């Protein structure tokens, strides 16, 4: 659910390329469901980092307003 919400936010804020990459990755995960490894860990870290960066960006935008 969180990933879908992230894709929506990225798409609405104009980062269509990144939203597409995440959506593609979600599809790959569904295709290979149950398979875990280093790639899954990297992907989870990527999502976590993106969300943290979005929150930081929102804080900066709020401070500038």
Q: What is the pLDDT of residue 28?
A: 83
Residues whose CB falls within 8 Å of the CB of residue 8, separated by 6 or more in sequence, listed in order: 19
Mean pLDDT of 16-40: 78
Which of 58 and 23 is assigned the larger pLDDT? 23
Containing 9, the helix (H) or strand (E) segment is helix 2-12
């Amino acid at each position: 659910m969180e990933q879908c919400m992230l894709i929506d936010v990225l798409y609405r804020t104009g980062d269509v390329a990144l939203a597409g990459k995440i959506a593609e990755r979600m599809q790959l995960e569904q295709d290979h469901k149950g398979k875990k490894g280093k790639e899954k860990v990297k992907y989870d870290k990527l999502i976590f980092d993106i969300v943290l960066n979005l929150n930081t960006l929102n804080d900066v935008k709020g401070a500038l307003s």
